[in-house]
Structure formats: C-alpha cells, structure tokens
Amino acid sequence: MSEYSKDYTFDEMMTVLMAREVRNDDVMIVGVATPMVWAAFTLAKVTHAPDAIYHYIMGNTFVLEPRQVSLLYLEMNTARTYRFQDSVECTLESLPSDKLTTIEFFRPAQIDQYGNTNNVCIGDWEKPKIRLPGAAGILDFSMFYSRGSFLYTPRHDKRTFVPTEDIYFISGVGFPEGKPSICGGSGPQCVITNLAYLDFDEKTKKMRLNSIHPGIELKTVKDSTGFELVIPQNLKETKPPTIKELKLLQEKVDPLNIRQLEVLSGKEREELLDEIIQRELAMKNKFPKLLF
Amino acid sequence: MRTSKLMSLEEAISTYIQDGDLVGIGGLSFWRKPISACREIIKQNIKDLSLCTFVGGIEVDMLIAGGCVSEVRSCFVGMEIFGMAPHFRKAVESGSIKISEESEASIALGLRASYLKVPFMPLKGLIGTDMPKVRNDIKQIEDPLGSGTQVMAVPKIDLDVAIIHVPYADEFGNGNIAGAVWMDADMGKTAKKTIITCEKLVETEDIRYLSGKAQLPLQTTSAVVKVPFGAHPTSCYPIYTFDPRHIQCYLKNDFEEYKKKFILDKSPIQYFEETGGVQTIFNILL
C-alpha cells in the first residue's frame, strides 16, 4: 500500500495527477514552455512508465532517458540525446496515428462544458482585448489523438471555465455539440485543475466532476465553474500524492521547482524565475542531469 | 572560380529584402533565430514586412516594435516561460498589424506545397476549429478520390525571402544545421531569395563531413554572412545556449531605449559588447 502524503502544494498535486495518466507504452509529447508537463512525464517515467518515450516538439526528437527538468538547457536534452529524428511534416501528420498511443497535455485559456478550448484571443478575434500567444499544434491534433487529449489548468475559475457561447475562438476541438469530432479522435479525457479532477460523461459528453481534491468544498468548485458540471451522487475525493511520488518530484525530477512557474504570477513568479536562472547558470554542466 | 556569396550583413539585407516582402524566419522560439539580421532590418528601417515563422518569439516582437511589420503569419508568438511577447500583443490588440492565423501544420504544409509547386495541401487537422471563420483561403473539402474523408485544404506559402541562422556554412551558400532543422530547409529551398547567417565559415569539403550535410544547398542560397553569436540572445546549437539575462533585459526595457543601446549605429561587435561581451560568453553562453 502506498502511503499518501498530507503535506503537498497544489502544483505537486496536479503534477502527480498528470503523471498518473501516462501509460507505459505512451509517446509523451512535450510542448513549448510547459515545465509542469515535462515534470509529470518524467515522474511517470521514473515510477510506473519506464518504457514511455518522450517526444519533444521543440526538436522533433524521440528521447528515451529521463532527465531533471531544466529551464535553460532543454535544447541540450532534445538535440543531443535523440535516437530518431523525424521531419516536421512527418511529425505533424503521423504522430496522431493509430500506431502510436500518444499523450499530450494542453493548457487552455478558456474551456467549455464539452471540452472545446481557446488559446488564441480573449475578446473578438478582429480586435481582441487580449491577444494570446496562439494555439500552435492544438489546432492540428486535438481532434485526432486515439487516446484522446488531456487538459490541465492551475486556474480553475470562471474566466477559464466558460459557457460555450463565451468561448471567443475554438482552437481545440472537444465534443462539438456533445458529439465526438468527425476526425476520429477520442476527444478530451480529463481536465486536471487546482481544485479537482474532471472528466466527461460517457453519454452526454458534458464535463463531470470525477473527484474533488482534499480540503476543497464542492461549493468552491461549483462557484469557480462558469457552467453546470455533472456531479455524481457519491462524489470521490482525489487521491493525493504518495510520499514516494512527492519525494521523487521534489528531489530528483524537479528540484528547482521549475513547474511552479506555471502556477505563480506577478512578483512571486519573477523571483522564482530569477532564482532558477541563477541556479542553472551556476551549473558547470549544461546537460540536464540524467535520472537513474 | 566559383562565385562566392559572402557579403556583409548590411549588404545582404539591403540587397535582398524590400519593403512589403513576405519574410520567412528560421529557428524556433528561443533557438537559432537570425537575430543579428533582424537588428539590421530595424536599422535599415525596412517597412511593411509580412513575417512567417514556425514558433515566433523575440525576433517577431523586436521587428514589430521596430515598426517593420504589417502582418504576422504564425501559430504562436510568445516569450515562452518569460511571458507574452509585449509588442506583438499590443500591435494585434490595437489593430496596427494584421494576423494570419496559422497552425503548425498549415505552415509546414503550406511551405511543402510551395516546394512541390501545388496550390494547396490537404490537412487532417483544423476541422471543427474556428480557423475557417478567420481564414477565407482555407476550405474543408471531401476527398476527391472518393474515400469520403473530410480534409482541410491549406494554401501554399511562397516566401519572398528566407533568413536562416546556422552554425556552419561555406562561402558558396551550403549551410549546415546541427540539431533540429524545423522548417528551415523548406524555407531556404522555396523562398525566392535566401540569406544565410552563420557562426563559422567552413570549406565545402567540411560540409560533407558534418552530420546532415548541406540541408541548405548552395543553389538556393543568395547570400552568406558570417556573424559570430548572430543568434544571440537565442541559442545556436551546438555552440551556445540562449541568454536568459538578455531576454529579461529586452522585456524590462522600453524598446526605444533598447534600440538606442543595442541596435542603432551598433556593429555586431559593439552589440555584443553592450550585452556583456566576454562575461556573457563565459558565464552564460558556453
């Protein structure tokens, strides 16, 4: 029996939940600027999924070895250690195939009850209030993955979880009008947040509260969601990180807390960023540390 | 004697880039971007450029801030973990530049269509997204061969110029890229004119022994410029990593001040001295 921890932060909870989604035969797709995803995949790799393969979009490279999460030297990892390098078009078009089971986590700026997502703009596209960086490969892949797409956000609030009519630009396809996409993918599988683990009702394809994190009130989740969630009769509590998972994450996988850059904001974030840069620049070796 | 394509940065940019061109920029995010060439474009005050890049970052932001850009074709422009690209964001929100919304595959296949000289390529993705609402030049069609599959037709992208930074090139225009190539080979081969900036000039014979050989072959190269640290503050694998301190400096400073300090009247050597010179090389890049 694993022993569950009582002392953890919500970014640790989210990272562990994301790691638990990985299967041993997955290709794990690491996108741009998503250290929490990288940390989760590496945690999976050193716990229950030793055969899973990284695919770094930034290098179009398939990498076998787990390394400590790094902010500055990811390129050294992707460019040097690959076993196989794909051409870009080939990567783009063949990754979401039936042959490979891929897992990719997308972080939406907006999401509706059917898992449609927006990473393009807030406000009218023609003249947006906020122009976001863009949706990159989400536009290409969200409707294809045979194992579905996986979503996460550390900001479970009404600005992120919105009614369908308030999504400004659908850049990631969920279950349009409650039906699977015609492109054949399995659609969104789960949404991992700072408050809860959500999935989608098998019949209606509406977002469902699968489990609620320890210490979080049901009312908080409801009040933080801009649409009505499917709430099961006997609501479960999310299993927190085990002591082993937490120790690995903190000591081996991401000792510099790079994943926290995804959850912090403002001055706190600036300070952490400075600290990470300083600590990484002080390292003599620019290859992220090999784990095991 | 074979023709050498070696020229100065100033000459390469003024000869091959005109106002209004569609310019392809090599590299990805903070990796192997032709930043010295972007500074030269700002210096020469070239206007109304359309930029096309796979994952855009500081180079797109800088060219927008410098007033050189009227349109951006990209699926992502941001400063990665450092945050949003401030001038890109402001320019789109105020409507001062146009956006052509792209995805990774619409750029990759658009360039491939240009390479194959076909008007469009079929794409599996995009279906069900709002892309067709903002792009009247893409279209969902049924497989004309009768399988019944729905595909999205995306148009070819014909670049006027491509600017690509590489670690090694010879003076005749053979460029070698170490590490990931991304869209650079397709950009270099399809653009009407291709400018290569490189860290080191090597002999043609050396290119044969480099892994990947000449991903950018001489017949499609217009100019070769030697600019050591020409990708700074982005990286040039395997020679140096990106410079987080300079990216922070870019984000913290008002662009007009940044321009005065690092761009206007600065040669590549003076620029590099301003960024910290030897200290930067020893403590950050190598």
pLDDT tens digits, residue range B226-249? 999 999 999 999 999 999 999 999
Is pLDDT at B154 greater than 60 in this prediction?
Answer: yes
Average pLDDT value for residue range B62-78 = 97
ipTM here:
0.93
The SS3 call for residue A247 is helix
Identify which of B251, B165, B187, B80 has the alpha carbon closest to the alpha carbon of residue A30: B80
Helix B35-43 to helix B58-65 angle (10° resolution) is 0
Domain-embedded: residue B221: yes
User: Which site among A131, A149, A164, A177 would you substitute to test the B interface, given the most B Cβ atoms closer than 10 Å to its Cβ?
Assistant: A131
Q: The whole model's pTM is what? A: 0.95
Please report the residues numbered 180 through 199 in chain B whose beta carbons come closer than 8 angstroms to any beta carbon of chain A: 180-183, 186
Q: What is the DSSP letter of A238?
A: P
| Residue B1 neighbours by CB distance under 10 Å | 3
Tell me how far apart the alpha carbons of residues A161 and B111 are, in angstroms, rounded to a whole number: 36
Mind telling me how many Å the CA of B152 is from chain A's nearest CA? 11
Alpha helices in chain B (DSSP H): 9-16, 35-43, 58-65, 86-94, 104-116, 131-134, 184-190, 204-209, 244-252, 255-262, 268-274, 277-280
A89 has a chain B CB within 8 A of its CB: yes
Alpha carbon distances (Å) from A22 to A19, A42, A57, A236:
6, 10, 18, 21
Domain-embedded: residue B271: yes
Question: Which residues of chain B have a CB within 8 Å of the CB of A92?
Answer: 104-105, 108-109
B125 has a chain A CB within 8 A of its CB: yes
Find how far residue B131's CA is from the centre of its chain.
23
Q: Tens of pLDDT along B197-227?
A: 999 999 999 999 998 899 999 999 999 999 9
Strands B150-155 and B161-169: unpaired
Helix A266-281 to helix B244-252 angle (10° resolution) is 150
Q: The tokens of B178 are what?
A: 């170490």
Of A58, A176, A261, the CB nearest to B28: A58
Tell me how far apart the alpha carbons of residues A14 and A190 are, in angstroms, rounded to a whole number: 12
Domain count, chain B: 1
Contact A39, A265 (CB under 8 A): no
User: Which site among B84, B96, B129 would you substitute to test the A interface, given the most A Cβ atoms closer than 10 Å to its Cβ?
Assistant: B129
Question: Which residues of chain A have a CB within 8 Å of the CB of B242?
Answer: 72, 75
Q: What domains, with CATH codes, occur in chain A?
A: 10-106+147-153+183-281 (3.40.1080.10)
The CATH number that applies at residue B185 is: 3.40.1080.10
Domain-embedded: residue B108: no
pLDDT attached to residue A78: 74
pLDDT in tens, chain A (292 residues): 579 999 999 999 999 999 999 999 998 988 878 999 999 999 999 999 999 988 887 777 788 889 999 999 888 777 665 555 555 555 555 565 666 788 999 999 999 999 999 999 999 999 999 999 999 889 988 898 889 999 999 999 999 999 999 999 999 999 998 999 998 889 999 999 999 999 999 999 999 999 999 999 999 999 999 999 999 998 999 999 999 999 999 999 999 999 999 999 999 999 999 999 999 999 888 888 889 7
Domain-embedded: residue B163: yes
Give me the residue label for tokens 């949003």: B84
Of A35, A61, A143, the CB nearest to B127: A143
Q: Residue A21: phi, psi to the nearest 5?
A: -75, -20
Q: Residue A41: phi, psi to the nearest 5?
A: -65, -40
Cis before residue B238, ω within 30 degrees of 0? yes
Q: Which residue of A has its CA nearest to B32?
A: A75
Domain-embedded: residue B4: no
| Region of residue B148 (left: phi > 0; alpha: psi -120 to 50; beta: else) | left
Please report the residues numbered 25 through 44 in chain A whose beta carbons come closer than 8 angstroms to any beta carbon of chain B: 32-33, 35
Question: What domain range includes position B257?
Answer: 9-102+158-203+216-285
pLDDT attached to residue A47: 97
Tell me how far apart the alpha carbons of residues B44 and A259 are, in angstroms, rounded to a whole number: 41
Domain-embedded: residue B113: no
Is pLDDT at B10 greater than 90 in this prediction?
Answer: yes
